[in-house]
Amino acid sequence: MAAEGGAAALAEAASADQFRDLLQQPGRSLVVVHFWAPWAPQCVQMNSVMAELAKEHLQVAFVKLEAEAVPEVSEKYEITSVPTFLFFKNSQKIDRLDGAHAPELTKKVQRHASSSTIPPGSNDNVKEDLNVRLQKLTNAAPCMLFMKGTPQEPRCGFSRQIVEILNKHNIAYSSFDIFSDEEVRQGLKTYSSWPTYPQLYVAGELIGGLDIVKELEASGELETTCPKAHKIEDRLKDLINKASVMLFMKGNKQMAKCGFSKQILEILNGTGVDYETFDILEDEEVRQGLKKYSNWPTYPQLYVKGELVGGLDIVKELKETGELTSTLKGEN
């Protein structure tokens, strides 16, 4: 399908088989796949960005794949929001970008597409940008674990062991999957002067890897070094009571990042009742903690005066019975 204005073609994968075939295109050193949704305006905008990049990088294959239409592929690559971009070389995923960040997408395409030497002086700027990003990531939570996989699904034995130790001692931590971002995976080793994973940080400072954590556990110092997890309940109570009506969703009022969140926004906006939102994609601790706190495993979640109302299906039922507005006003 050709883009408007004579732009280079964007291939479209409508099935898992087409997706696999597109990853193996001859003569294409890099394949960039945009997981998108037609209902999300930011995705439509990023398709235009992809089309422009395709005109500049003829050796790169640019593919768009409707995330909700090919769920088996989305699930395999843990696509939880749109837009998301995956980068492949030789059918292997080498990098990932979440969100509608045109400058960052352009930068990643240029870096992965080119095997030539970076112009003099540019390398310093790239390193500086990466160091700023790594500093933000290591300070993203009071205790940050950089690991292979997630706490729910560790993807190496060392990561599994460190997760078990932290959980056993009720340590409050957030995590970053280094498999999801090759730039972070390689850059953090230089940034921290620590060549292996997992890596544990407290207040932005490197504590160490699995062996160090084991030593801290054996000496009884782990619980004084790392923050305890009981504070998450207090934080969740504060968040659900931040406004009379609170919606925990993927995205925010201005930009929903999944179809369910988009639908519930449309319903709430139709009531005229004021509400606030919290983007669970921006905080993994809240995202996982609230599911346990509320005993409700999915998002979005709607709260009124600190009490869980439910998700999209419940809100639809309340709308159909005419009870939604009174429920949002706390009259029921």
Tokens of 177: 């999957």
List beta partners, residue 270.
none
Pseudo-torsion of CA 319, 325, 331, 332, nearest 10°? 10
Classified as helix, coil or strand, 317 is helix
10-residue stretch averages of pLDDT, the chain, 332 residues long: 44 91 79 94 90 87 94 90 90 88 86 54 56 89 90 91 92 86 90 94 94 95 80 86 95 91 95 94 86 91 96 95 94 74
Q: Residue 36 has what pLDDT?
A: 95
Q: What residues pair up with 200 in beta bridges, in sequence order?
A: 145, 208
Chain segment 90-126, per-residue pLDDT in tens: 888 888 998 888 888 988 888 888 743 334 444 455 5
| pLDDT value, residue 125 | 52
**pLDDT at 80 (0 to 100):** 86
Joined together, the tokens standing for residue 29 give 């050193």
pTM for the structure as a whole? 0.42
Please give the Cα distance from 297 to 311 (Å, whole number). 10
Q: Which residues contact 124 (CB under 8 A, 6 or more apart)?
A: none
Q: Output the CA–CA distances (angstroms, integers) from residue 279 to 83, 222, 248, in the order listed.
A: 15, 31, 6
pLDDT on residue 180:
80
What pLDDT score does 9 carry? 65
Residue pLDDT, tens place only, 209-222: 999 999 999 999 99
174 in Cβ contact with 285 (< 8 Å): yes
CA 53 – CA 56 distance, rounded (Å):
5
Task: Indicate the pairing of strand 92-98 with strand 60-66.
Answer: unpaired
Q: So what's the pLDDT on residue 231?
A: 63
DSSP 128-196: HHHHHHHHHHHTSSSEEEEESB-SSSBSSHHHHHHHHHHHHTTB--EEEEGGG-HHHHHHHHHHHT--S
Give the span between the Cα atoms of 210 and 226, in whole angstroms: 14
| Collapsed DSSP state (helix, strand, coil) of residue 33 | strand
Determine the pLDDT at residue 227. Answer: 76
What's residue 118's pLDDT? Answer: 38
**In this predicted model, what pLDDT tens digit does every residue of 145-180 receive, in sequence order?**
999 988 888 889 999 999 999 989 888 888 898 988
Q: How far is CA 325 from the centre of its chain?
A: 32
Cα separation of 230 and 226, whole Å?
A: 12
